[in-house]
Amino acid sequence: MRNIVHRHLGKMVAGTAIAVAGTAVMVAVTLPGTAGADDTGTRAGQSVPQDAGAAGAGDAAAGGRAVAPGVVEAAPAEGQQGEGRDPLTDDELERAEKIALSRQLFRSSESVDGDRGPQPLGVDLAEPEADEAGEPDAPRRADVTFYDYRDDTLVTRTVDLGTGKVVATGTQHGVQPPLSRAEKAEAAALLIADPLGSGLKADYEDATGKALTSPDQLQLSGAVYRAAPGAQPAVLDKCGEHRCVRLFPKIKNGPWVDARQLVIDLSARKAARLDR
């Protein structure tokens, strides 16, 4: 039997409890939805026994009040255009991103997986101008953010949803907003392909009996990592200027894996282990 105590990746842990780094011990976990499976009583999402429902109806009748059956109403239809400070509609989100992604920006930029075009990060309702505050008919604008992996640039474009035009463009370096789902998946793919991912793959096989070959087999959380003096090997010194990730992977329907000591530099497409 393989001794997993000295595995390169961290321990398997339940929930967010983290054990001492440097070991890899499988521990028993209780997954959401399984704890208290034998408990009595009614839980959200479970059906009420028919006799209990009948008893409730009888009690209501005895009190002289009829209980009408519950009705689930459909959500109201979402319009194409919001009003005022309403959240952006799905149509506005899609339209804003298309308007912001000009042909020139698409041709000159690069996404997280090396394809042409910047990496989309998000679309948010823009704040009104100072002289528009409180005006019910103020223009609705959207801030669309992209990350250009060609030169590690955060690009923000403000789109006027009424006119369909880009009204402002800003670029920043060293600014690292939260990671997109695609970036976390790419970080996991790089780790799986790297020798440093051997512990993650071994833990996955221990837990499931199957080989880990794709990020789709994991539930992924992650955070941006910034370099700190003396806290990482030299290969990670540019994290912050580069887009770097610490992953918190979870085996689907299984335990978490402690990968905190591993950092994936998405800009350089390399993985490294922190010194401490």
Digit-coded pLDDT (tens) for 51-83: 444 444 444 444 567 777 777 766 555 567 778
Structure token digits, residue 137: 């008919």
50 Cα distance to chain centroid: 40
* Angle of helix 181-193 versus helix 198-208 axis, rounded to 10: 100
Q: Is the pLDDT of residue 25 over 80?
A: no
Band of the pLDDT at 36, cuts 50, 70, 90? Answer: very low
pLDDT, tens digit, 9 for 90 and up, residues 97-117: 999 999 999 999 999 999 999
Q: Is the pLDDT of residue 6 over 60?
A: no
Q: Residue written as tokens 């209501």?
A: 60
Q: What is the dihedral of CA 129, 131, 133, 134, to 10 degrees?
A: -150
pLDDT, tens digit, 9 for 90 and up, residues 126-138: 998 888 777 777 8
Listed residue (263, 231, 227) closest to 247, CA to CA: 263
Predicted TM-score (pTM) of this structure:
0.70
Give φ, ψ of 220 to 5 degrees: -120, 125
pLDDT, tens digit, 9 for 90 and up, residues 205-243: 999 999 999 999 999 999 999 998 878 899 999 999 999
Band of the pLDDT at 276, cuts 50, 70, 90? Answer: low
DSSP of 123-138 = EEEPPPPGGGTT-TTP
Give φ, ψ of 186 to 5 degrees: -70, -40
Sign of the four-CA dihedral 224, 227, 230, 236: positive
